[in-house]
Structure 1
Amino acid sequence: MKTPLDTAARLSIAPMMDWTDRHCRYLHRLLSRETLLYTEMVTSPALVRGGALHLLDFNEEEHPVALQLGGSDPVELAQAAKMAEARGYDEVNLNCGCPSDRVQSGTFGAVLMRQSSLVADCVKAMQDAVSVEVTVKCRIGVDDQDPHEVLPAFLEDVAATGCNRFTIHARKAWLQGLSPKENRDIPPLDYDLVYAMKARFPQLHLSLNGGVTSLAEARAHLDKGLDGVMVGRSAYHQPADILCAADPEIYGTGEITDPVAVVHQMLPYIEAHVTNGGKLGQVTRHMLGLFAGKPGARQWRRILSENAHKPGAGPDLVGEALAAVTNAPVASARQVG
């Protein structure tokens, strides 16, 4: 039976370190009421041993929102999952895809593609500890593994725990020889393998991640039978292009949102953040791409990026930047942003 989270996961925004923080997610939620949002990856040691509970902070407006955990100790992950549930997260996701050196040294992330039985133990421990759904984000394999052998075995082992929802980044991760940035671009995408996994495991909710740059591409993957699509960098750099029409086009509900109206909706949030001692740039850095490709986009970015760090910067500066967009003349294609 399809759950509300299964529906929300038709389109999700990828967990992205240093990007998808609570301010970014608040903006994205104003652009789309339906899309499933993910936190940055939070490690279970940071929560359980480090006591960094501030990493769990989020705004109630963000629902549906999932916490992504990094770790490989079943007991510790179960404790972290309980913390997430207590804070009100709708889902807990285990990272089996991040290829960074720091993640490898902690024996979690993409290196776990080599240890499906350990992943199954981790997932089972979290499931036993919480009532919210536990999901997995993975790669198609790592290094010299054969994805056509590794991925189905991985899915089968982990799904045996009762885990029903997986997001598959359709690239290998090369743990030796490629940087995390290179791992997002250089290994070739294998969408056909993800389609094949959906055919092989029709009972599983499978989302595809990697290389999706437009809402039309996301819809095309859904039309080919996948249950969901996760969008990363494009949703960050051109959030309006991905999210403004997502609700009517992906979910068949709501209306296309207006980025100008969303900026006005952000102003009380920004005012509260600044009043409580926060810096304007902590919020507006996520808004720089809001008008990408539109008249006035360059001025919008320039005003915010050059001034948001200055003492006293607040909602008035955002209003000034917005005026550069709303008053911008319709430009020729070569003049736009």
Structure 2
Amino acid sequence: MSDRAEPVKQGNSDVRRAASLSVAPMMDWTDRHCRYLHRLMSSQALLYTEMVTAPALVRGGARHLLAFDAAEHPVAVQLGGSDPAELAEATRMCCDEGYDEVNLNVGCPSDRVQSGSFGAILMEKPDLVAECVAAMAEAADVEVTVKCRIGVDDQVPEKVLPAFLETVSAAGVQRFTIHARKAWLQGLSPKENRDIPPLDYDLVKQMKAAFPELHISINGGIDNLETAREMLDAGLDGVMIGRAAYHTPSDILLAADELIFGLSGRKTAVQVVDEMRPYIARHLEGGGRIHNITRHMLGLFAGRPGARGWRRTLSEGSHRPDAGLDLIDAALAHVQQDRLAS
């Protein structure tokens, strides 16, 4: 597999290093408040936005969806779409906002995404994907990347995936994140598509061996840093973690800088809560509700003494119109009390 075109963008080496461990784009979860929290927990991991559709940006005027805090860097935006010109315009907007990477979604299996002819269904149209990423790269001043599946429906991944990588990399993409499961577009819900199709980590490793010049990250079912480290040691360039990074962030992100990036020292979850206070205060002063932020903090103490009291207090109290930082104090008291009792 040779004679591929030179890449349009080689990418920022710092962003590529950050991609050694990334937090997956997750709809309704990885919003700007979630990303700010995650950045406090890991200074190094690459963070992704929720998917933002190109039509929403270009035709819908939804540029506010691109808002983020400068503290989030390195941060990548994920776009959904299938029209090259529209994706190019959306990419320009993302670059103007200052994102470090623009990623094209070729993996989401939801009916709504399929009806828009983008997401995982694009695994069936590698030539169109190539057109899209070429247009995006032409419009971008940062690296354009792709997140894909190993195949969809009755496709044979061992045939489809290398052909897909061949075609899309020839258009200039040099960094791929591969969700190591098929997506079944008929018969399985998006939730079922995250669990039921079997994982094929070996195929993704084979793709790295077949395309050594590509930067390949693996995604799907990885829920601890030990497995992530094994994947990196096996030759993959990066590991993307989704639900585990959200539901048990302390297990994944507090140790990431040390175990994945080789930096010394790590914070505690209590320190992170204290560092979130000024951010929460600014949000409240601007008229925001505390629930917008605390919903992402529920799992901070998962598996630790006081976790149930922490979660219950935040869940029950965050919907009060007058809820403020005192709610954080009340929730944290459960953690501290259980720590003293243990």
Bin of the TM-score, shorter chain as denominator length: over 0.9
1:256 aligns with 2:291: no
Query: What's the counterpart of residue 200 of structure 1?
Result: 210
How far apart are 1:4 and its partner, in Å? 1.1
Aligned to 2:199: 189
The residue that corresponds to 1:229 in the other structure is 239
2:153 aligns with 143
Give the corresponding residue for 1:335: none
Q: Is the 8 A contact 1:78 1:126 kept in 2?
A: yes
Aligned counterpart, 2:21: 11
**Residues 152-163 of structure 1: pairs in structure 2 closer than 5 A:** 152-163=162-173
Local SS of the residue matching 1:327: helix
List runs of 5+ in structure 1 lacking aligned partners: 333-337
| Aligned residues of 1:113 and 1:141 also touching (Cα < 8 A) | yes
Give 2:70's aligned residue: 60
Taking a change above 3 Å as real, the CA distance of residues 158 and 331 of structure 1, as seen in their structure-2 partners, is farther
1:70 aligns with 2:80: yes
Deviations 1:149-203, CA, capped at 9 Å, x for gaps: 0000000100002211000000000000000000000000000000000000000
Deviation of the 1:326 alpha carbon: 1.6
Say whether 1:277 aligns with 2:274: no
Per mean C-alpha deviation after superposition, the further-off stretch among 319-328 and 53-62 is 319-328
Q: Of the candidates 319, 326, 330, which is equivalent to residue 309 of structure 1?
A: 319
> Which of the residues 77, 100, 112 maps onto 1:102?
112
- Displaced runs of 4+ in structure 1, greater than 6 A? none
- Among 46, 51, 73, the alignment partner of 1:41 is 51
**Corresponding letter in the other structure for 1:83:** M
User: CA separation in 1, counterparts of 2:116 and 2:86?
Assistant: 13
Whole-Å Cα distance in 1 between the matches of residues 176 and 340 of structure 2? 44
SS of equivalent residue, structure 2 residue 338: coil
| SS of match in other structure, 2:35 | helix
After superposition, where does 1:210-229 map in structure 2 within 5 Å?
210-229=220-239
For residue 267 of structure 2, give the secondary structure of its aligned residue in structure 1.
Answer: coil
TM-aligned CA deviation for residue 330 of structure 1:
6.4
Q: Is the 8 A contact 1:93 1:136 kept in 2?
A: yes
SS at 1:40 equivalent: strand
- Alpha-carbon distance in 1 for matches of 2:275, 2:259: 23
Give the total of aligned pairs: 332
Residue-by-residue CA offset, 1:115-161 (whole Å, 9 max, x unaligned): 00100000000000111110000000000000000000000100002
Decide which of 62, 73, 79 is 2:89's aligned counterpart.
79
CA distance in 1, matches of 2:300, 2:340: 17
Displacement of 1:327 in angstroms is 2.0
Q: Equivalent residue of 1:294, what SS? A: coil
State how far apart, in whole Å, the 1-side matches of 2:247 and 2:264 are: 23
Deviation at 1:11, TM superposition (A): 0.1
Q: Residue 251 of structure 1 aligns to a residue in which SS?
A: coil
Alpha-carbon distance between aligned partners in 2 of 1:265 and 1:329, rounded to the nearest angstrom: 20
- For the 8 Å contact 1:47–1:80, the answer to whether it is kept is yes
SS in 1 for 2:171: coil
CA distance in 1, matches of 2:226, 2:257: 13
SS at match of 1:145: coil
Matched, 1:31 2:41: yes
| 1:241-264: CA deviation from partner (whole Å, max 9, x where unpaired) | 000010011011242121100000
Cα distance in structure 2, aligned partners of 1:95 and 1:240: 27
Give aligned-pair identity as a percent.
67
Deviations 1:283-312 (A, max 9, x none): 000000000000000000000000001011
- Give the alignment's Cα RMSD to 1 decimal: 1.1
Q: How far apart, in 2, do the equivalents of 1:190 and 1:330 lie?
A: 45
User: What is the distance in 2 between the residues matched to 1:120 and 1:163?
Assistant: 9
Match of 2:307 in 1: 297
> 1:46-82 CA distances to partner (integer Å, 9 max, x unpaired)?
0000000110000000000000000000000000000
**Structure 2 residue 177 is matched with structure 1 residue 167:** yes
Are positions 1:246 and 2:256 aligned together? yes
Q: Which moved more, 1:135-144 or 1:320-329?
A: 320-329
Secondary structure in 2 aligned to 1:255? coil
Distance in 2 separating the partners of 1:131 and 1:119: 19
Structure 2: any 5+ residue segments left out of the alignment? 1-9
Distance 1:150 1:31, change over 3 A: same
The answer to whether the 8 Å contact 1:295/1:331 transfers is no
Pairing 1:127–2:110 present? no
After superposition, the C-alpha distances for 1:228-247 in whole angstroms (9 at most, x for unaligned) are: 00000000000010000100
